Amino acid sequence: MSKTESVVVVNNLKKYFPLKIPWLEALRKKEKPTVKAVDNISFDIKSNEALGLVGESGSGKTTVGRSTIRLIEPTNGSIKIHNQDIMSLKGESLRRARKNFQIIFQDPMASLNPYMSIGKSVMHPLEIHNIGSNFKERKEMVLELFDKVNLKPSKEFFNRFPRQLSGGQRQRVVIARAIITNPKFIVSDEATAMLDVSVRSQVLKLMLRLKDEYKLAFLFITHDLASAKYICERIAVMYLGKIVEVASTRELFEHPLHPYTKILMGAIPIPDPTIKRNKIMPKGEIPSPTNMPKGCRFRTRCPYAKKECEDMDMELTDMGSNHLSACPFIK
Amino acid sequence: MSQENSLEIKNLNIEYLTRSGTVHAVKDASFSVAKKETLGIVGESGCGKSTTGHAILKLLPSNARAKGEIVYKGRNVLTMPEKEVRHLRGKDISIVFQDPMTSLDPIMRVKDHFLELMRAHKPNVKEEEVIQTASEALEAAGVSKKRLDNYPFEFSGGMRQRVMIALGIALKPNVIVADEPTTSLDVVVQEQIMEVFRHLKKTKDMSIVLITHDLGIVAELADKVVVMYAGEVMEYADVYNLYKNPLHPYTQLLLKSVPNIKIDDMELHHIPGSLPDLKNLPPGCRFYDRCPFAKDKCKKEEPPIFKVDKREVRCWLYE
Ligand SMILES: Nc1ncnc2c1ncn2[C@@H]1O[C@H](COP(=O)(O)OP(=O)(O)OP(=O)(O)O)[C@@H](O)[C@H]1O
Ligand SMILES: Nc1ncnc2c1ncn2[C@@H]1O[C@H](COP(=O)(O)OP(=O)(O)OP(=O)(O)O)[C@@H](O)[C@H]1O
Ligand code: SF4
Ligand code: SF4
Ligand SMILES: [Mg+2]
Ligand SMILES: [Mg+2]
């Protein structure tokens, strides 16, 4: 895979959060304790490609998404978006670059200003980035986009307020606001998690269409593998700050390799009462990220763990045809 | 479906009085839960699932008006004096809420939650008895009894939900109402909680009312299913037949719109339109606007329940 065609290239991304401890204790310790929320991960995404990022709660998905677009400061790593070195940008230049990358959150109500009409909310990024020459032109752009995301009649929707919309409609407003600046890259963080099944399908369809039409690179963060299947060309699985497996969606669904991925796949409830599976489940709970197991981080819960797992580095290795796994023992 | 019933709901009607009008949240709902049976209640957000579930324990807010019958051991819970209902709660019928963080008291240790629950039924209960009961319940819910002295914030979301379940089963109730017990938990933790329920089903004489919008979870746990739409029971059937051969157009479309994990099925389906306004309902079938099979009659006349084999369906197609 040549990196030049990638819209997003992230290498060795780290985000350590400082841990709050009593100051006296802090004075005594040489090394400040940290939460290694994201620990040295790399990935790239091409245009018109969606990379899924899945994994259980607390594995670091949101932190990856936010660090990648510098909504939070990464501890370390290099990030290129649309051939621009994002880590070297500061102040005004970072602000200007933001029109190329946007994020969609889980709760549309929390990300919209309740006192601003949705038309104005979506127009706002155009004003910030100086796109369009006057109000009339910008309004035209918003109305056109409202048609595209199916907020019709667009003229009527323009003046509505968030509380006058259903959950699915609100999320479509948020999506419209994210793509109005014609970005190259979208991070979607559990954007469909709060929606009812039927509405979820509808929003997924919309994302799929926009991805095609705008040739977007998508980082699709979700804990719902079934939703990821419809959107993503490839899927990366995270566990405790590390990517443990990456493969094409089909590969991952047909031949999951990493023991954690297998467990994750097996845990998805299937809407068919005739199917009774024998599920392998991990032992215990996800360890605290402040007290990570040495070696393979999945060791404490892995049904296949053995002595060697205590000293290995969780390096992703190609197991054939771009299927990467961090477990060398399961092939 | 007529074995020995633990709970019978007959013609349940619930309205919420609000400043802007009356919300017709539940209309004419009837169903029953047999001993040792799990009944799933499914439907889109706002269709009246929680309202129905909370009515079973008479836990509705003060602006709610409930009519009909909720029969437990031959008596109607809805007309029982509050004092007597309090005796039922936790001991005969218990509830596990959607959000364990807000339903556990942050300044009380796990042990104290059990103490409070048991005191309500036995004012002078002894500490040893509390610890004994709590340990058993926690163990059944997959929590080590070593954690009796922990505070809620010291638990992960999944563990808190298990503590809630432990509290729900501590006094060995006959019926447990679980309102979205796994929503907001990730799949691995969700599966662990489902395993707790499977275990309860096998080992305890308990009936479970499982409220969820997740059709996958219902398929895994329920024996019978009530499908609600805009406050009405649209279909009522055993789980196998419902999934194999859904009768009501709403059930059919709902099942079709569930994302699946079959890699060769990449088509996404959704139900166009949205729920009708529960303050201002149309005269005919409540699903009329969104139904692909709607006919003239559906617009004018509300369909009653029709019996098809041993199932029930509220739709004119089965007249
Ligand atoms: N601002 C912060 N300060 C300290 N620790 C944090 C902060 N944000 C996140 N963390 C920790 O980093 C880890 C990863 O969190 P993150 O929110 O990225 O996980 P996630 O995979 O998105 O989980 P979820 O599925 O629950 O959203 C967690 O242990 C979390 O507690
Ligand atoms: N206290 C209340 N006052 C007025 N209306 C209410 C009240 N509680 C609920 N409602 C309304 O009653 C209807 C049914 O609500 P209910 O909470 O039972 O739905 P639900 O099926 O549990 O939905 P969800 O899946 O979102 O939990 C909704 O239209 C809701 O807005
Ligand atoms: S390295 Fe060992 S502990 Fe880690 S996933 Fe593989 S078998 Fe399990
Ligand atoms: S009664 Fe008519 S509108 Fe209602 S679900 Fe049946 S066919 Fe559709
Ligand atoms: Mg997150
Ligand atoms: Mg509810």
Q: Is residue B218 part of a domain?
A: yes
pTM of the model: 0.91
Q: Find tokens 């029982």 and name the residue.
A: B80
Both A60 and A185 in a single domain? yes
DSSP letter assigned to residue A154: H
Return all residues near B185 (Cβ < 8 A) that are at least 6 apart. A57, B157, B158, B161, B193
Any domain includes B110: no
> Could you tell me if A176 and A116 lie in one domain?
yes
Please report the pLDDT score of residue B97 as a whole number.
Answer: 83
Domain membership of residue B287 (yes or no) is yes
pLDDT tens for B37-81 read 999 999 998 999 999 999 999 999 999 999 999 999 999 999 999
**Closest Cβ opposite residue B219 in set A57, A271, A285:** A271
- Residues A131 and A116: their CA atoms lie apart, in Å, by 20
Q: What CATH number is attached to the domain comprising B259?
A: 3.40.50.300
Q: Looking at the domain assignment, is residue B298 inside a domain?
A: yes
Question: Per-residue pLDDT for B182 more than 90?
Answer: no
From ligand 3's centre to the CA of B141, what distance in Å?
28
Looking at the fold, whether A286 and A304 belong to one and the same domain comes out as: yes
DSSP state at residue A309: G
> What number does the ligand 4 atom closest to the CA of B299 have?
3
Residue B126 covered by a domain? no
Q: Which of A190, A207, A232 is the last residue of a domain?
A: A232
Domain count of chain B? Answer: 1
Whether A36 and A153 map to the same domain: the answer is yes
**B1 confidence band (pLDDT: 50, 70, 90):** very low
Residue from B57, B210, B158, B44 nearest A166 by CA: B44
Q: Are B192 and B206 in contact (CB under 8 A)?
A: no
Tell me, yes or no, whether A139 and A189 share the same domain. Answer: yes
Query: Which two three-digit tokens encode residue B221?
Result: 């746990």
CB A47 within 8 A of CB A250: no
Calpha distance A46→A211 (Å, rounded): 11
Residue B273 has pLDDT above 90, yes or no: no
Amino acid at A263: I
Residues 6+ apart with CB under 8 A from A279: A266, A267, B191
Tell me: pLDDT of A31 over 80: no
Domain extent, residue B45, equals: 5-92+173-318
Q: Is residue B203 in a domain?
A: yes
Report the separation in Å between the CA atom of A237 and the middle of ligand 5, taken as the mean of its atom positions.
Answer: 14
User: pLDDT digit string (tens) for A160-189?
Assistant: 999 988 888 999 999 999 999 999 999 999
Q: Does residue A165 share a domain with residue A66?
A: yes
Minimal Cβ distance to B216: which of A229, A271, A274: A271
DSSP B67-102: EEEEEETTEEGGGS-HHHHHHHBTTTEEEE-S-HHH
Strands (E) across chain B are located at 5-18, 21-34, 38-42, 64-72, 75-76, 93-96, 175-179, 207-211, 224-229, 232-238, 306-308, 311-313
Q: Can you give the residue range of the structural domain that contains A280?
A: 235-331
Mutate to test the interface with A, among B188, B221, B228, B271 (most CBs of A within 10 A): B188
CA distance A225 to B267: 15
Q: Do A243 and A262 belong to one domain?
A: yes
- A143 & A224 share domain: yes
Q: What is the DSSP letter of B174?
A: S
Asked if A296 and A180 sit in the same domain, the reply is no
Distance of CA B120 to the CA centre of its chain: 24
Whole-number average pLDDT of chain A: 91
Segment B239-261 mean pLDDT = 96
* Structural domain count of chain A: 2
Quick one: which of B244, B163, B224, B166 has its CA closest to B200? B166
- Mean per-residue pLDDT for A207-211? 95
Which residue is listed with tokens 């929503």?
B183
Is residue B160 assigned to a domain? no
Chain A partners within 8 Å of B255 (Cβ): 271
In angstroms, the CA B27 to CA B25 distance is 7
Q: How confident is the model at residue A330 (pLDDT cuts 50, 70, 90)?
A: confident
Domain boundary among A173, A198, A232: A232
ipTM > 0.90 (yes/no): no
Q: Compute the Cα dihedral for A42, A297, A63, A202 and give only its sign.
A: positive
CB distance A297 to A239 below 8 Å: yes
Tell me how far apart the alpha carbons of residues A103 and B222 are, in angstroms, rounded to a whole number.
38
Instruction: Identify whether the C-beta of residue A317 lies closer than 8 Å to the C-beta of residue A324.
Output: yes
Q: Which among A197, A232, A267 is the end of a domain?
A: A232
Measure CA A148 to chain center.
24
Same domain, A188 and A299: no
Q: d(Cα B173, Cα B92) in Å, to the nearest integer?
A: 4
Interface A–B counts its CB contacts (< 8 A) at: 121
Q: Which residue of B has its CA nearest to A282?
A: B188
Please indicate, yes or no, if residue B266 is contained in any of the structural domains. yes
List of residues 6+ apart from A219 with CB closer than 8 A: A8, A45, A50, A51, A53, A64, A65, A68, A185, A186, A187, A188
